[in-house]
Structure 1
Amino acid sequence: MALTEAQERIRELEREALELRFRAEKAEAIAQERGSALEAERMALRMLTTGPPTAPAEPDPETTSAPVSPPPAPEQSGPGPEPVRQSWWRRTFG
């Protein structure tokens, strides 16, 4: 009888081991899925909370130049310059 009891006990322990292995694999899959979701949420939060890009520390020498004064106006002998025409909005509500 001792042999059959030992064999039955072995089968029982094997079933428990299989069940525990299955539960461990399931828990790992859930943890992996939650980790992926958490990383996606972190990325979305970073994208929402970062401000606009900062301006460069030093200006670009090619685009920056010394202020240029306008050329001298030619002397006019005729009538003065035409008045600047305002937009319809300014003329109406100005």
Structure 2
Amino acid sequence: MIRTAEGTAVGTVQATVGPIPGGRAAVLAWLVGVPWQGRGIGTRATRALVEWLHDRGLRPVTAHIRPGNAASEAVARNCGLRPTGRWADGEVVWAEAG
């Protein structure tokens, strides 16, 4: 749950973790309420989750984003993810570079 300093819930960020050859990987998802978008809240929360996952050895981190969702694309880009050209269920798979 993403909360303001006053404790108001404004969104959520999550990771679905699963096995891959040689380790585990995570698929990220986030949601920020429209009135709170554009303030960097989603980016800060998602970066914190990515750091937490990395600290636990989870790589790669990916996200699936609907084409044209500029807000989610910005969060992904600000968290070090880039579009891969791969698709999953009608969404572009974004992944960490390298």
Q: TM above 0.5, one fold?
A: no
* Richer in strand (by share): 2
Higher radius of gyration, 1 or 2: 1
Determine which structure has the larger helix proportion and give its number.
1
| Higher RCO (CA-CA < 8 Å; seq separation 6+) | 2
Q: TM-score range by the shorter chain?
A: under 0.3
